[in-house]
């Protein structure tokens, strides 16, 4: 009897164990079914989730605020044409270090125009060059002197540089350009030494225009303790599997966060705290020597240290002001942060024009059309607005190629044509964007005439207002 009871208990325990195993397996299978692509539940959820990823905008619609102060009312005049620093938010410069790279070979008028406009209000401006001097009350640092003399001695470009330091000879523009690539890495190191507590480091050149209000608005949206590298993407040095590394084009300016700079310039130390690793400049000296461009090597050094470029084109732009193709999908509702190689008159003129804005909203490309007065321009002789994105219809025997009047009328008859240029040699150029253009070559001044379909431009602008700013997200596919 006892043995029979024990057998029943054993069987009962076995059934209980089997039951527990059954329930466990069933639960696991049920959970797997829930997450399986073939389940009816996942069919309901996953497609919409995928659509949200695919349809997600390529930009943020941040509500930003200006850090510029309101201008005080002038009792004698309600308007002023003079540029002023009274409204500039100087307090941000304790967190943002701005570095201007120049050269002793640059034309004085370009440097003077830049410092009278773009950098006129930057009290802590760090200027780096290839010779020690002073500019408009700012000390200019010979950043190349930071490189080890033993390394410089092996590089031919530095022979002229050494003579130049002792005033034995002038240095020409070609030699200055070759030396320029050696400035990028030591200028980052110098910026860190001179302002180690900065959250952001901004680097620009004397032909770079910056819209400070937009830059400050953008930086407020990011964490400087993340390793961030902002700029306009350009293809650089080769990396694995035939790919290239993307770097921030120096002419458009670029920004590094505190964390990115700390990672970049970090050096190995010994047990007593002494540096035992090379500086950043020493580490990449041979690579810079073998490369054409310092901004490319800087991007490569960041890449090797695990920091990739956040491409912010078209907000950081390689276009000069007069060749921006306003009205295309990349140059309308996006905020403008930088432009490269703008005319000297535009450096000063745009800075004054910006001072006249209330800065309630960020400056969009759509707003810059007002600076050019596009939509209210008469025809200009000796002008060319078709050099970027121009279309010459074939064959060359079409009526529009026979006269300025025919070219003008043909543009007016095309819904998409906003501007035109007529070459008296027999070519009519149509442009679909709102582009100002620039003076034609002096020898062709009598041959070129440019015009704008003002009525069409005004109508297009009225139908294409910007509801919100489009702060573009980082991309290496969206490039200049």
SS3 328: coil
**CA-to-CA distance for 196 and 190, rounded, in angstroms?**
10
Neighbours of 159 (CB within 10 A): 12
Q: DSSP of 150-219, one letter per residue? A: HHHTT-THHHHHHHHHTTSS---HHHHHHHHTTSHHHHHHHHHHH-TT-SEEEEEETTEEE-HHHHHHHH
| Helices then strands, each counted (H, E), the chain | 16, 20
**CA-to-CA distance for 186 and 18, rounded, in angstroms?**
72
The H or E element that residue 346 is part of is helix 344-355
The H or E element that residue 84 is part of is none
Strand partners, 229: 256
- Predicted local distance difference test score (pLDDT) of residue 167: 78
**CA-to-CA distance for 128 and 167, rounded, in angstroms?**
19
Cis peptide before 314 (omega within 30 of 0): yes
**CA-to-CA distance for 246 and 289, rounded, in angstroms?**
19
**CA-to-CA distance for 453 and 321, rounded, in angstroms?**
20
- Predicted local distance difference test score (pLDDT) of residue 170: 76
**CA-to-CA distance for 41 and 46, rounded, in angstroms?**
9
Most distant CA pair in the chain: distance in Å?
124
Q: DSSP of 367-399, one letter per residue? A: HHHHHHTTTS---EETEE--TTT-B--S-TTSG
**CA-to-CA distance for 420 and 144, rounded, in angstroms?**
47
Output the pTM of the full model: 0.86
**CA-to-CA distance for 413 and 407, rounded, in angstroms?**
10
Cα dist from 329 to 120, 332, 432, 462, whole Å: 33, 7, 12, 16
288, 152 contact by CB (below 8 A): no
CB under 8 Å to 229, separation ≥6 — which residues?
Answer: 248, 254, 255, 256, 257, 260, 299, 302, 307, 308, 309, 310
CA angle 218, 220, 226 (to 5 degrees): 95
**CA-to-CA distance for 142 and 97, rounded, in angstroms?**
18
Torsion angle of the four alpha carbons 285, 262, 476, 297, in this order, in degrees rounded to the nearest 10: -10
Q: DSSP of 10-32, one letter per residue? A: HHHHHHHHHHHHHHHHHHHHHHH
- pLDDT one digit per residue (tens) for the chain, 480 residues: 444 444 434 434 544 444 444 445 444 444 444 343 333 323 333 343 433 455 789 999 999 999 999 876 554 544 444 458 999 999 999 999 999 999 998 999 999 999 999 999 999 999 999 999 999 999 999 999 999 998 888 898 898 888 888 876 778 778 888 999 999 999 999 999 999 999 999 999 999 999 999 999 999 999 999 999 999 999 999 998 889 999 999 999 999 999 999 999 999 999 999 999 999 999 999 999 999 999 999 999 999 999 999 999 999 999 999 999 999 999 999 999 999 999 999 999 999 999 999 999 999 999 999 999 999 999 999 999 998 889 999 999 999 999 999 999 999 999 999 999 999 999 999 999 999 999 999 999 999 999 999 999 999 999 999 999 999 999 999 999
Cis peptide before 477 (omega within 30 of 0): no
């Amino acid at each position: 009897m006892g043995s029979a009871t024990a057998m029943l208990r054993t069987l009962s325990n076995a059934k209980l164990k089997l039951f527990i195993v059954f329930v466990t397996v069933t639960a696991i299978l049920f959970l797997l079914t829930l997450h399986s692509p073939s389940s009816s539940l996942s069919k309901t959820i996953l497609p919409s989730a995928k659509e949200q990823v695919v349809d997600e905008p390529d930009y943020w619609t941040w509500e930003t605020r200006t850090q510029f102060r309101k201008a005080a009312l002038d009792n004698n005049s309600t308007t002023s044409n003079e540029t002023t620093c009274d409204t500039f938010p100087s307090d941000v410069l304790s967190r943002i270090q701005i570095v201007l790279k120049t050269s002793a070979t640059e034309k004085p008028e370009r440097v003077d125009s830049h410092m009278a406009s773009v950098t006129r209000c930057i009290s802590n401006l760090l200027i780096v060059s290839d010779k020690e001097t002073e500019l408009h009350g700012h000390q200019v640092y010979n950043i190349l002197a930071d490189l080890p003399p033993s390394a410089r001695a092996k590089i031919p470009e530095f022979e002229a540089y050494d003579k130049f330091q002792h005033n034995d000879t002038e240095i020409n523009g070609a030699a200055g350009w070759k030396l320029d690539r050696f400035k990028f890495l030591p200028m980052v190191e110098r910026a860190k030494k001179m302002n180690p507590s900065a959250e952001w480091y901004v680097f620009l050149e004397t032909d770079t225009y910056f819209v400070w209000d937009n830059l400050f608005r953008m930086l407020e949206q990011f964490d400087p303790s993340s390793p961030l590298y902002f700029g306009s993407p350009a293809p650089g040095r080769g990396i694995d599997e035939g790919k290239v590394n993307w770097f921030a084009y120096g002419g458009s300016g670029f920004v590094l966060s505190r964390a990115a700079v700390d990672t970049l310039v970090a050096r190995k130390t010994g047990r007593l705290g002494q540096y035992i690793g090379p500086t950043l400049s020493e580490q990449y000296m041979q690579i810079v020597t073998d490369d054409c461009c310092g901004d490319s090597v800087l991007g490569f050094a960041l890449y090797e240290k695990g920091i990739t470029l956040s491409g912010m084109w078209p907000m950081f732009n390689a276009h000069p002001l007069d060749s921006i193709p306003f009205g295309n999908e990349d140059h309308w509702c996006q905020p403008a942060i930088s432009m490269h190689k703008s005319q000297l008159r535009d450096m000063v003129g745009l800075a004054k024009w910006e001072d006249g804005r209330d800065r309630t909203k960020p400056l969009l490309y759509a707003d810059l059309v007002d600076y050019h007065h596009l939509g209210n321009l008469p025809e200009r002789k000796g002008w060319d607005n078709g050099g970027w994105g121009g279309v010459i219809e074939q064959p060359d025997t079409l009526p529009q190629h026979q006269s300025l009047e025919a070219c003008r009328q043909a543009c007016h008859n095309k819904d998409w044509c906003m501007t035109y240029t007529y070459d008296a040699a027999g070519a009519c150029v149509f442009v679909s964007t709102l582009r100002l253009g620039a003076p034609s070559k002096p020898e062709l001044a009598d041959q070129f005439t440019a015009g704008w379909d003002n009525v069409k431009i005004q109508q297009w602008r009225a139908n294409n207002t910007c509801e919100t700013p489009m702060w573009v997200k980082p991309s290496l596919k969206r490039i200049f």
